[in-house]
Amino acid sequence: MSVTTLSKSIFLTATPETVWRFLTEKEKLGQWFHPSKEDLTEGREYELLETGDDGISKTVCWGTVVSMDEPNSMQWTFTVTPLGGAMTTVHWKLEAMTGGTRLTLTHEGVSEAAGESALGLLIALDKGWDEHFMSMRSVVSALNAKQ
Amino acid sequence: MRTRVQDSFRALADPTRREILVMLSKREMTIGEIAAEFPITRAAVKKHLTMLEEGQLISVHPIGRERINRLEPTGIKNVHDWMSYFDQFWDDKLSSLQTLLNNQ
């Protein structure tokens, strides 16, 4: 696990089977995250939507369901609009406990993906940004050097 | 709960607003000058500028009767910090899930 991995655990007073449905069914995802275009299926792409002020639904999070082990674990590739399609990895773990479920989220690859999108922003914004992007450039080159 | 870093990302998520930022990176502009570059109403441009200002990506300065829009480094600094963005993002989402399931 790298230093740029995010990991969070919460305790839920519901069975893993119930929690699983909230992670994979389109309407239930909409109740706490963003509604999905379709129920999530192993090996398939997914799109999570947000309805804007203008009433138009836009895809705000998307990726592929890499693996599913109902109701124990699931792995997604995951990106958000400002990351511009640079993919990160989200892993969900569901553990049955007395009285409920411990749900653990692990999110990896964020700084690498941010490096890619920073590069895209740099190209788009060109000069004039130099002073603000100086630090971002060094981040990007550090990332590239690692690869 | 919306946080400042999320305001910055929300502001950056729209292609028109990113275009406005690119224009402002070259020079400071009034709302009229910006509106002249886009096939959308002045009111729509005003809305975009408000969101950019909320995201701390631009600042607005009154000069005489004009209001000049200027690129602002604060929001860009926030955007550098993707880890804190996702940290807050997941905290918000997971606490919604917790509220939802634990109140059933």
Cβ of B25 and A129 within 8 Å? yes
Cα→Cα distances A125→B21, B70, B71, Å: 8, 15, 12
| Percentage of residues in chain A having pLDDT higher than 90 | 43
Q: What are residue B44's DSSP bridge partners?
A: none
List, for residues A86-96, the tens digit of each pLDDT value.
899 999 999 99
Residue B23, min C-alpha distance to chain A (Å): 9
Q: Domain coordinates of chain B in residue numbers?
A: 4-85
Q: Determine contact: B66 vs chain A, CB below 8 A.
A: no
CATH of B4-85, one of 1.10.10.10, 3.40.190.10, 3.30.1490.20, 1.10.150.120: 1.10.10.10
Q: What are residue A36's DSSP bridge partners?
A: A48
Cα→Cα distances A142→A62, A115, A139, A145, B52, Å: 27, 9, 5, 5, 29
The confidence score (pLDDT) of residue B52 equals 93
Select from B22, B87, B96 the Cβ nearest to the Cβ of A125.
B22
Cβ of A14 and B104 within 8 Å? yes
List, for residues B18-49, the tens digit of each pLDDT value.
889 888 877 899 999 999 999 999 999 999 99
List, for residues A94-144, the tens digit of each pLDDT value.
999 998 999 999 998 887 777 666 655 555 554 434 444 444 444 445 555
What structural domains does chain A harbor? 7-108 (3.30.530.20), 110-147 (no CATH)
Residue B79, min C-alpha distance to chain A (Å): 9
Residue A144 and residue A125: Cα distance in Å, rounded?
A: 20
Query: What ipTM describes this predicted complex?
Result: 0.71
A65: Cβ contacts below 8 Å, ≥ 6 apart: A40, A41, A42, A43, A44, A45, A46, A74, A75, A76
List, for residues B51-80, the tens digit of each pLDDT value.
999 988 899 999 898 999 998 877 776 666
Q: Which of A90, A94, A112 is nearest to A103 (CA)?
A: A94
pTM: 0.67
What would the DSSP string read from start to end of A59-73? EEEEEEEEEEETTTE
What would the DSSP string read from start to end of A90-114? EEEEEEEETTEEEEEEEEE-HHHHH
Cβ of A114 and B82 within 8 Å? yes
